[in-house]
Amino acid sequence: MFLTRFRLPKISLSLSKFLQMKLNSFLFRFLPFSVSRCYVAVLGRLYYLLCWAEKTLIRKTIKHVFGRKIPAPILNQKIKAAFKGIFDHYHEKLFVGYSNFPRLLKFLRSQVSFAGAENLQAALQDGKGVILVTGHFGAVEFLPGALALNGYPTSMICRFQTTRLRESMGQRAEAVGLHLIDADEGNIIPSAMKALKAGRILITECDEFDEWRPDPHRDSYFLNCRLPSDRTLELLRKRSGAQVITALMQRQGKKRYTCNLTPVGNGASPMYPPIHEQCLSVLERTVEDFPEQWYQWKKFGKIIKSLFEVEYDRQETGYLAPEIGLSLPDQA
């Protein structure tokens, strides 16, 4: 008699597509918020049980960034909370896309507040639109709907993992006056410029790393890692004359959410870095304070994997150089 090694089946779907199975879109019409949240967390843990390499990359990326700054016990708590934050993000995505629509509208009106709304209102007075820069942070899925329900003319650049979600979000956006710009339809610059010229708010994300238009003559820094410098925001700002404001939707607990609006007032010059780098700086400070609410750890880890190969003192730092070489799907 002999023992054979048990191997878990591999899963080829991304977490986003895995959680957007047809059954889940049906269940979200009826499940209460707290029940659906627990349900997504269970599915998420199952996903990472099967996709252990992806889970490992996320853990090691967080350790790479914070390993020297946070004591090990607290760091492990942060890592655990980061996975919970990832599950919360996908729960919020499904809640916005598939939950009972009147219940969703009531939720967004009552549970989301804005800090610094006067900055946004003042910027809109110019008539040139506003570039509202957010990131893969907190309850960002609630941002466009909450703005639209508060009477702000809003457009958002987005990408959908499934046709079902694209159709559902298209119908819901139209019902509240929200304009969606599908990034899969090609060059989005003309559509973005059109929205700004119409005096609308244009929502975009500054940490969509694989969508950047790199500046060959400049680097940027994020979480102490060197990255290319993206030219897209500076291009939009110069062409439109629109003001730039960062918007980060922080989870406060007990189903309360606050969107922090921070003006970014200076364009690129010898004194000030490009707008994109200023926005990254705002996001960086927020991620350092609340790393568990940023859900771009996987993609960030894939980008900085080359840094993992640098020779560190492994005993002192606990960095991840010895355990690289993870092959992961490209889908978010």
Distances (CA, A) of 229 to 30, 144, 217, 238, 304: 44, 26, 9, 16, 15
Q: How confident is the model at residue 265 (pLDDT cuts 50, 70, 90)?
A: confident
Q: Is the pLDDT of residue 331 over 80?
A: no
Calpha distance 227→229 (Å, rounded): 6
Cα dist. 199→179, 264, 267 in Å? Answer: 13, 18, 20
CB 56 within 8 A of CB 324: no
**Cα–Cα distance, 324 to 67 (Å, whole number):** 16
* Separation of alpha carbons 287 and 300, rounded Å: 13
Closest C-alpha to 145, from 176, 167, 170: 176
Query: Domain ranges in the chain?
Result: 15-99+292-320, 109-291
Spatial separation of the C-alpha atoms in residues 110 and 150, rounded to whole Å: 11
Taking residues 206-223, what's their average pLDDT? 90
pLDDT tens-digit map of 46-92? 999 999 999 999 999 999 999 888 999 999 999 999 999 999 999 99
| Residue 161: predicted pLDDT | 84
pLDDT tops 50 at residue 257? yes
pLDDT 10s digits, 97-120: 999 999 999 999 999 999 999 999
Both tokens assigned to 272: 């000030």
Q: Whole-prediction pTM value?
A: 0.87
Q: What pLDDT is recorded for position 188?
A: 85
pLDDT for position 306:
59
Q: What is the pLDDT of residues 133-158, one digit of tens each?
A: 999 999 999 999 999 999 999 999 98
Q: Which residue has the higher pLDDT, 312 or 66?
A: 66
Select from 134, 184, 146, 27 the least CA-distant residue to 91.
27
Amino acid 269: pLDDT:
53
Can you give the C-alpha Rg of the chain in angstroms? Answer: 20
Q: Is 315 exposed, middle or buried (0-12, 13-18, 19+ CB in 10 A)?
A: exposed
pLDDT at residue 305, as a whole number: 77
Whole-number mean pLDDT of the chain?
87
Q: Is the pLDDT of residue 312 over 50?
A: no
